[in-house]
């Protein structure tokens, strides 16, 4: 596969997951991209925090347990910064 084809497939995969939470098999079926390639692209997206797992449940196509992924930012967990200096109650002695 040449570089241009890979870039197009990566973009199509990213956009497919943005529409709604989907399984890898759903994306492979609707885009025509090989499922093995989808798996690699998802791994890359995970590495760069560009995709998140929304839920687990039966795949609408295979009926087997699967993860539903999304690249839509509204599905990403809210990040909270832990307190740097938590207030501690001092006991008086």
pLDDT for residue 1? 86
Domain membership of residue 45 (yes or no) is yes
Residue 50 sits in which domain range?
Answer: 3-74
Domain membership of residue 91 (yes or no) is no
Domain membership of residue 84 (yes or no) is no
Q: Name every residue whose Cβ is closer than 8 Å to that of residue 65 and which is 6 or more positions away in sequence.
A: 56, 57, 58, 59
**Helices within 1-93 (DSSP H only):** 3-19, 24-31, 35-47
Torsional sign, CA 53, 57, 58, 60? negative
Among the listed residues 50, 46, 49, 67, the one whose alpha carbon sits nearest the alpha carbon of residue 58: 67
CATH, residue 23 = 1.10.10.10
Domain membership of residue 7 (yes or no) is yes
pTM of the model as a whole = 0.80
Q: Mean pLDDT in each 10-residue stretch from start to end of the chain (93 residues)?
A: 94 96 97 96 95 96 97 85 65 56
Q: How many separate domains does the chain show? A: 1
């Amino acid at each position: 596969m040449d570089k241009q084809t890979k870039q197009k497939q990566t973009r199509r995969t990213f956009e497919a997951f943005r529409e709604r939470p989907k399984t890898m098999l759903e994306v492979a079926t609707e885009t025509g991209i090989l499922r093995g390639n989808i798996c690699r692209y998802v791994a890359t997206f995970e590495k760069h925090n560009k995709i998140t797992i929304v839920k687990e449940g039966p795949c609408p196509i295979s009926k087997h347990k699967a993860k539903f992924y999304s690249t839509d930012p509204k599905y990403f967990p809210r990040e909270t910064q832990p307190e740097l200096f938590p207030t501690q109650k001092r006991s008086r002695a």
